[in-house]
Structures are given as structure tokens and as C-alpha cells.
Amino acid sequence: MVIEAFPARVDATEGPDTPGAQPIPVPIVPTIGDEARSGPPAPGVAAVALAAVMVVSVMVVFLGLFAFTLSGLQEQRSQHLLYAQFRGLLDPSSTTAPSIGGSIPVGTPIALLNSAQADLHNVVVVEGTSSGTLLAGPGHRRDTPLPGQTGQSILVGKGMTAGSPFGDLTHLRAGDIVRVRTGQGPFRYRVVGTVAPGGRLPTIRSDQSLLTLVTSESTGPLGYLAPGHLVYVEAQLVGRPVTAPKGAPRTVSPSEIQGHNEPGAWPLAGLWFLGLLAATAGCWWLWSRWGIVQTWIVGAPVIFGILWGLSNEAMRLLPNVY
């Protein structure tokens, strides 16, 4: 009996008389779940350096975007909430009266500011003048009387960032009217003039009321990229002032003086930066296991939130009038 051996695989193009014929490779079909996935680069020196440059670049770009755009949206939202709160306090049926003096908590709405020439329309003034406080709008320096009261009242506002509520303050001219509404009623101030950088502020009598609006103006080659000199606009009350309640602070911390920042924001800014580094490393790790799409969906909101918190702290490190 003759046993004939057959090949394990027969190629359709191979004939019986074709010498040295090569079998055609059989394509490998991937099974379900074996998706091709591109992971991050190997964690070498070059990859880590590139990642660090990217993180710093994204952070710097986001800080600029926040300072000149996103912080303005945040300020508008704060102003909307503060306006509703202050109007509620002014309502005769309200059981809580608006604050008119003494020791007022920082961030409390204390006045409404209006001036067509300075593009101020129902702008809410809050108590306090630190950089962080002024992210919500113009602030009242706590060691001065409120607008309408006897003495010199100082209001400080940002001129370039956080919506720049005092950005058009230099448009005011002598004779223009600035209207202020506090818990003691409406008051009209007539602009006297603008004090030049390095000039002396005017002195007032004990029975007068002077309103001083302070911001910054940049005229140098860097423009908005660098804080400029301080601008003081002086306005005299039309009519008789009201009495200021006792109990107001006599001094304020250096961070509340016009032109100063908050050095105490450095620790929190450092913590936010460390959080950004940790989130970046976490996204790198997830990228190697989940893929870029899944990592982006999970990591992008986290990194955005950290950048927002870091930007808020960085704004406190800028001069309060910037």
C-alpha cells in the first residue's frame, strides 16, 4: 500500500509544475479588543524636558488669557450677584440694613457707582482694596470714610485686568458728575481734576467730602503687559456730607494700599503649581494605559480647574490697581 503525503496548506496560485513556489502570507486579523493604541513617549530626559516646556507654556498662555479675558467674565458674574445683594439691602422691606460705617466685613457691597464719562453704570463697590478683593469690582479703602460722609473717601479699582472697571477713569474731566448711592442715600460729586504722577493730593476741610478714585494707566512701550503709574481723580461733593459712624479701622495692611499686591498669595500659588505638575504626571500615566482620547476626557477638566485656581492666586500677586 502506498501512502501519499499532502501539504498542510495548498496555495491556489501554486501549480504542480511550479518549482520553488513560495506560499502567500496569510494576513493576521486582529481580534476584538486588540485595538492599536499609541502611548506617550518613553520617559527619557528629552521627553521630560519637552513635557516641562509644554506645561510652562500652557500655564503662561492661560494666565494671560485669564488676566485679560476670563477674569473679566468672573468679575461680571460677581458684579451681578453683588448688585442683587445690594439692591436687596436697599429695599425698604429688607430686615437687614446696608453697611454704612464701622467695621465692615471685607467683600461686603457698600455703594453703587455711576458715571457716563467713565463708563461706570451701576458698578458695585465692595469693602476692601486688596488685589484678591478687587477681582470682584472696585473697592473702598477701609481706613477712609464711605462716599458721602465727611472726609476723604478712597475707591480703588483695576484699570487693565478683571474687566478693568476703572479703565476709562482718565476720561473724566473737571466738571463731570460722578454719582454714588450708599445706605445713607444718593450723592453727587463734581470732578475737580486729575492728580499727575508724583503730585500732591488736595487737602479738604473737616466739613467737606472728597471722593478719590484710584487706578493705574500704562503708557510705556510694554503697554498692558506692565503696570503703569497711579492715576488719582478727585471729585468734590455737591451738597452737605453726612456723619460717618464710629468704629472704622484707622490703618490697613500694606496689601490694601493702592499699588500694592498680596505677598501672602505665594504659598497657595505654589500649591496650585504643584497640583498642576501632579495632574500632568497623572495624565501621562493614564495616557500609557487608556489612550489619548480617554485621558483627554478625564484630565482636561481637572487641569482646567487647577489652572483657574492658579490664575486666581497669580492675580493676587499683581498690584491691586493693575
Q: State the chain's mean pLDDT as an integer.
A: 87
Asked, for residue 7, whether it belongs to a domain, the answer is: no
The band of 249, judged by pLDDT with boundaries at 50, 70 and 90, is very high
Asked, for residue 291, whether it belongs to a domain, the answer is: no
Residue 270: what pLDDT?
96
Asked, for residue 27, whether it belongs to a domain, the answer is: no
Asked, for residue 320, whether it belongs to a domain, the answer is: no
Please tell me the distance from the alpha carbon of residue 138 to that of residue 157, in angstroms, as a whole number.
Answer: 4
Task: Compute the average pLDDT of residues 283-307.
Answer: 92
How far, in Å, are 120, 157, 246, 280 from residue 142 at the CA level? 22, 14, 13, 42
Structural domain range at position 71: 63-86+109-253
Asked, for residue 19, whether it belongs to a domain, the answer is: no
Residue pair 146/244 in contact (Cβ under 8 Å)? The answer is yes
Residue 50: what pLDDT?
82
Asked, for residue 311, whether it belongs to a domain, the answer is: no
Which residues are CB-neighbours of 47 under 8 A, at least 6 positions away? 40, 41
Instruction: Please tell me the total count of domains within the chain.
Output: 1
Asked if residue 2 has pLDDT above 80, the reply is no
Which residues are CB-neighbours of 60 under 8 A, at least 6 positions away? none
Asked, for residue 240, whether it belongs to a domain, the answer is: yes
Residue 236: what pLDDT?
96
Residue 28: what pLDDT?
54
* CATH number of the domain to which 166 belongs: 2.40.260.10
Phi, psi for residue 214 in degrees, rounded to 5: -125, 135
Please tell me the distance from the alpha carbon of residue 240 to that of residue 150, in angstroms, as a whole number.
Answer: 9
pLDDT digits 0-9 by tens, 3-53? 554 454 445 445 555 555 556 665 555 544 444 456 666 667 777 788 789
Residue 227: what pLDDT?
61
Asked, for residue 235, whether it belongs to a domain, the answer is: yes
Highest mean pLDDT (candidates 55-59, 234-238, 277-281): 234-238
pTM of the model: 0.83
Residue 174: what pLDDT?
95
pLDDT digits 0-9 by tens, 57-91? 999 999 999 999 999 999 999 999 999 999 999 99
pLDDT digits 0-9 by tens, 174-204? 999 999 999 999 999 999 999 876 677 777 7
